[in-house]
């Protein structure tokens, strides 16, 4: 192996293709969903425990910015993960496998997910 190969250790100079960004975001949103479900399960459990617990969850979600932000983050991650998952299903069927069509599908994925994230923000707030 050639030990004199150039090594670029400055990650900020590496330009990622849009397909790689979409793939990385798909994985990141999966982790966000996994972690965010802890908060949603807690709220669900508290809301089902009693009428007072339900009222506390409703009050928390209607008045607390952090609670709304967490719900918006989990719903946004779900929307992005869903759109990217549908794109992957189409790729499993043999579509968007070429370089140019893959780039276009990745760009469409980002646009559709951005619209859904904004709509989720409108719904939460």
Number of domains composing the chain:
1
Q: Is the pLDDT of residue 3 over 90?
A: no
Q: Which two tokens stand for residue 118?
A: 């904004």
Tens of pLDDT along 23-82? 999 999 999 999 999 999 999 999 999 999 999 999 999 999 999 999 999 999 999 999
Q: Is 88 annotated as a binding residue?
A: no
Q: Measuring CA to CA, how many Å separate 87 from each of 6, 18, 51, 83, 104?
A: 36, 14, 42, 6, 11
CATH number at residue 53: 1.20.1300.10
Residue 107 lies in a domain: yes
Q: What is the pLDDT of residue 13?
A: 83
Global pTM reads 0.84
pLDDT band at 11 (very low <50, low <70, confident <90, very high): confident
Residue 13 lies in a domain: no
Span 65-84, pLDDT tens digits: 999 999 999 999 999 999 99
Establish if 7 belongs to a structural domain. Answer: no
pLDDT for the residue numbered 2: 65
Segments forming the whole domain that contains residue 47: 18-124
Which two structure tokens, joined as six digits, stand for 65? Answer: 């910015």
Average pLDDT over every residue of 103-107: 96
**Per-residue confidence at 14, pLDDT binned at 50, 70, 90?**
confident
Burial 36-53 (b: 16+ CB within 10 A, else e): beeeeeebeeebeeeeee
């Amino acid at each position: 192996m050639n030990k004199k190969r150039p090594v670029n250790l400055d990650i900020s100079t590496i330009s990622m293709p849009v397909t790689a960004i979409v793939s990385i975001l798909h994985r990141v949103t999966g982790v966000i969903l996994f972690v965010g479900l802890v908060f949603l399960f807690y709220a669900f459990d508290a809301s089902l425990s009693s009428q007072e617990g339900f009222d506390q969850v409703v009050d928390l979600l209607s008045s607390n910015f952090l609670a709304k932000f967490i719900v918006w983050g989990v719903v946004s991650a779900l929307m992005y993960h869903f759109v990217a998952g549908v794109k992957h299903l189409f790729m499993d069927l043999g579509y968007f496998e070429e370089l140019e069509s893959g780039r276009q599908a990745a760009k469409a994925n980002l646009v559709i997910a951005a619209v859904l994230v904004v709509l989720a923000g409108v719904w939460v707030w």
